[in-house]
């Protein structure tokens, strides 16, 4: 009984253990990098002018004058107790700052990933049947456009040209919605362009992957057999080739969650959205090390969980993977 339970749960427990270890190692790397980054928090804390003696006072107040391994030990001890520390600049617990920002970044990334998956799969499957090469070239070209440029282009067309969507922010600064449906509408209106800008890159990636996958499957005998049994070409593509082509897409999508979070950082700056990426950028410029490291810990944890979820989903979808 026990052995059976272990056979089922054991790999999961092991993976969870490795995951925690991976996050701790990544966070420690972030710690060492932050600690050894040129410059300190003085300019951000004291301001554009600094008085003699303030450099040393600020270093002592935040324990920056210690050697890095001592600071690392103290920090690791706190982290293992679940304490991410206090922000030097914002005078708030790092955990609270991250909790404040996380929902927006998750909403942005998840919507973008979902949009990219849906539209990407449809586009990829549609173009898989055609001999024309231009869709591939188009997706490849759009895939290479940086997120910031995409964002500016979308703003030019939809916000400044057509005036149908806002340029920036998550709320109307003059007359914010109080709650309920109005709030939901306002948030949605403000997130349409950022989600589109963030999704485009991933969308092209998915479309290219699906197109290649479906085209590959279409050449296999089982598809020919299905068509011999009377399936239409379209039916064979959507019902037979696509499901089999999707497996690697789910996996590769999960592996790109990190890239998506990185992309969210650029998009949050371009659209002035108060997400996790902005928090990390502001903190990095201010050398607010506790916040930078906290953001890395959370980003790593999210990426790891996404990979775990993808593996579990793959196992459910493909019995061959379950045996291992």
Binding site for other proteins (CB under 8 A): 37-52, 54-55, 61, 89-92, 97, 100-101, 152, 155, 159-160, 163, 166-170, 172-174, 269-274, 278-279, 281-282, 285-287
HSE (CB half, 13 Å, CA atoms) of 74? Answer: 11
| Residue 47 beta carbon to other proteins: minimum distance, rounded to whole angstroms | 3
Nearer to other proteins, 54 or 251 (CB): 54
Nearer to other proteins, 62 or 240 (CB): 62
| Residue 224 beta carbon to other proteins: minimum distance, rounded to whole angstroms | 53
| Residue 88 beta carbon to other proteins: minimum distance, rounded to whole angstroms | 9
| Residue 36 beta carbon to other proteins: minimum distance, rounded to whole angstroms | 12
Nearer to other proteins, 169 or 248 (CB): 169
Question: How many angstroms separate the CA atoms of 16 and 171, rounded?
Answer: 38
Nearer to other proteins, 89 or 143 (CB): 89
What residue has token string 């045996």? Answer: 323
Question: How many angstroms separate the CA atoms of 314 and 160, rounded?
Answer: 43
Nearer to other proteins, 272 or 316 (CB): 272
Question: How many angstroms separate the CA atoms of 172 and 175, rounded?
Answer: 6
| Residue 303 beta carbon to other proteins: minimum distance, rounded to whole angstroms | 22
Question: How many angstroms separate the CA atoms of 36 and 227, rounded?
Answer: 63
Please, is 90 exposed, middle or buried when counting C-beta atoms within 10 Å of its C-beta (0-12, 13-18, 19+)? Answer: middle
Are residues 198 and 174 in contact, defined by beta-carbon separation less than 8 angstroms? Answer: no
| Residue 241 beta carbon to other proteins: minimum distance, rounded to whole angstroms | 43
Instruction: Give me the count of residues in the chain.
Output: 324
Are residues 136 and 208 in contact, defined by beta-carbon separation less than 8 angstroms? Answer: yes
Provide the CA 112 distance to its chain's centre, in angstroms: 9
Q: Enumerate residues 6+ apart whose C-beta is below 8 A from 45.
A: 58, 88, 89, 286
Nearer to other proteins, 39 or 67 (CB): 39
Question: How many angstroms separate the CA atoms of 254 and 263, rounded?
Answer: 15
| Residue 174 beta carbon to other proteins: minimum distance, rounded to whole angstroms | 5
| Residue 167 beta carbon to other proteins: minimum distance, rounded to whole angstroms | 5
Nearer to other proteins, 119 or 269 (CB): 269
Nearer to other proteins, 12 or 285 (CB): 285
Please, is 253 exposed, middle or buried when counting C-beta atoms within 10 Å of its C-beta (0-12, 13-18, 19+)? Answer: buried
Residue 209 CB neighbour total at 10 angstroms: 20
């Amino acid at each position: 009984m026990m052995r059976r339970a272990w056979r089922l749960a054991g790999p999961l427990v092991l993976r969870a253990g490795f995951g925690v270890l991976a996050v701790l190692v990544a966070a420690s790397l972030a710690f060492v990098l932050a600690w050894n980054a040129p410059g300190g928090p003085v300019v951000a804390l004291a301001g554009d002018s600094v008085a003699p003696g303030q450099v040393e006072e600020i270093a002592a107040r935040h324990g920056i004058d210690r050697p890095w391994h001592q600071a690392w030990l103290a920090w690791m001890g706190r982290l293992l107790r679940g304490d991410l520390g206090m922000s030097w600049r914002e005078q708030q617990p790092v955990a609270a700052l991250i909790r404040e920002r996380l929902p927006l970044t998750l909403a942005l990334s998840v919507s973008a990933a979902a949009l990219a998956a849906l539209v990407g799969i449809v586009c990829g499957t549609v173009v898989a049947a055609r001999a024309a090469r231009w869709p591939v070239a188009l997706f490849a070209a759009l895939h290479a456009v940086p997120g910031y440029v995409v964002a500016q282009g979308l703003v030019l067309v939809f916000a400044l040209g057509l005036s149908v969507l806002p340029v920036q922010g998550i709320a109307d600064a003059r007359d914010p919605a109080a709650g309920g449906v109005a709030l939901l509408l306002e948030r949605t209106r403000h997130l349409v362009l950022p989600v589109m800008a963030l999704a485009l890159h991933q969308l092209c990636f998915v479309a290219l992957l699906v197109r290649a996958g479906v085209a590959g499957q279409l050449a296999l005998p089982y598809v020919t057999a299905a068509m011999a049994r009377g399936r239409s070409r379209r039916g064979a593509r959507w019902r037979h080739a696509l499901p089999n082509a999707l497996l690697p897409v789910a996996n590769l999508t999960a592996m790109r969650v990190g890239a998506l979070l990185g992309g969210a950082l650029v998009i949050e700056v371009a659209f002035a959205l108060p997400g996790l990426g902005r928090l990390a950028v502001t903190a990095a410029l201010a050398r607010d090390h506790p916040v930078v490291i906290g953001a890395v810990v959370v980003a790593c944890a999210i990426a790891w969980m996404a990979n775990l979820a993808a593996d579990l989903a793959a196992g459910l979808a493909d019995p061959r993977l379950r045996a291992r």
